[in-house]
Copies of this chain bind each other. A is one copy, B any other.
């Protein structure tokens, strides 16, 4: 019986403490909301560090945490709500309108950044004194340090003031998460010794396979939910069932993807996109309000949880003790990784922006990425977050425990890079953005933006969530626009297909009867 009580408390104590600290984070984050420098990620990570220190002292320098960072917990419970919410809340029109540059940054960028970080580490680490890593581990390190965390910048950018920039940073963030995890998993599968041109091709093919199958699974899950909600008329009885079904099927799609070793992130993202495009129209009014806010709240709690977790984990004494390098060698490792991240990101943001601008040379200036915007995009992706930590734990520990000094060094390096980039770069983000995009310039550019936004709206839309009267006037404009600008016919084909075949089956307002 005593054993039973002990096991009870071994679960109750950490959960209680963690929930209490989460509440504290929430209240402090709210109080600091107006602050110029701090945002919620930084608040959570700093509170995590402080609580970790208190526990470390209270436990006589034995342990800084009551829960070991478990990458399973992260991938199974915390990441799905965040990504699903991203898909559900994404402004689909902006996202698909900027689809090409987003994919350039999110997919090609990760490949470029991974190559540079991996090659740089392979070249620099032995010189500093860290030996014993295999080629495939270097590539894994490349993917670990190529996954960005754009939450921090997105809290500062305003969707209405700089729609193009917001959409690019947001879109890249989601695609980047998915790409780096998929690439990481693809690297895990290849044999380290036989690395060469063929292996690189295998990684790439595996990546393509994972990318397409995961997307198909997510789209299927979203369409299935829409069909069930529409066909069976759930709302007639209660909106509770509607909400539960959306959450459960989204989660099911994520878990199915993980089960078949696909990318759950991509799957659940597209499930979210499809659900907000179709299923959302088939539910009652109160379910619509509830789903929007509930998914956002779940994502918010999971995000705060992760930052808190990373902050507390930073003081894990065991890992620091195992570090074999001298202080200066350690600093050398940390700063070389930071430098490689800066270079690796610059190496794709600026060239690919040029490519993107070149492709859009037909359009007006507003859809081009200006120099200042390029700097903001570069900066926005410098923060490293929970995905990096989770991948590092997956690569270098076995269920959160590592016994190898080199592995322990890589874990501490990851934590230092995450802490440093989130706190230092995070602190500088607000001042940097207000320097690059000062409010008065914002206002003047706002007019341009508004104009371009208006133009966007008159183009064949992907999203159609506005009121019927607005739709009517827009639909009319669309037709005239189509005649004038045949370059957007892919959009128009999709719209026609959506209106004729998809919406009648899966839900959503039909615009055909409005023309």
Contact = CB atoms under 8 A, between A and B. Distances in A.
Contacts of A237: 30, 33
A451 interface: no
A398 interface: yes
- The oligomer's copy count stands at 2
Interface string A291-332: 001101100110000000000000000000000000000000
Contacts of A241: 26, 29-30, 300
Given A232-B31, A301-B248, A293 B243 contact: yes
B240 A27 contact: no
Given A11-B72, A15-B255, A290-B290, 11 more contacts: A9-B259, A12-B255, A12-B258, A13-B259, A27-B228, A30-B232, A244-B297, A244-B300, A286-B293, A287-B293, A290-B294
Interface size class of A (residues with CB under 8 A): 35 or more
Given A23-B248, A300-B244, A12 B76 contact: yes
Contacts of A20: 252
Give the 3 A-B CB pairs with smallest separation, nearest first: A290-B293, A16-B255, A243-B297
A301 B256 CA distance: 19
A93 interface: no
Contacts of A394: 4
A72 B7 contact: yes
A501 B296 CA distance: 35
Q: Is the interface of A mostly helix, strand, loop or mixed?
A: helix
A254 to B, nearest CB: 9
A483 interface: no
6 contacts: A4-B394, A8-B72, A30-B237, A240-B297, A289-B289, A290-B297
A247 interface: yes
A201 interface: no
A112 interface: no
A245 B286 CA distance: 21
A327 B312 CA distance: 56
Interface in A159-213: 188
A447 interface: no
Interface in A214-252: 228, 232, 234, 237, 239-241, 243-245, 247-249, 251-252
Given A31-B232, A258-B12, A245 B23 contact: yes
A490 interface: no
Interface centre among A76, A232, A294, by most B CB within 10 Å? A294
B26 A244 contact: yes
A252 B301 CA distance: 14
A301 to B, nearest CB: 5
B12 A240 contact: no
A184 to B, nearest CB: 13
A19 interface: yes
A239 B22 CA distance: 17
Interface centre among A228, A248, A249, by most B CB within 10 Å? A248
Contacts of A500: none
A399 interface: yes
Contacts of A244: 26, 297, 300-301
Interface centre among A15, A188, A398, by most B CB within 10 Å? A15
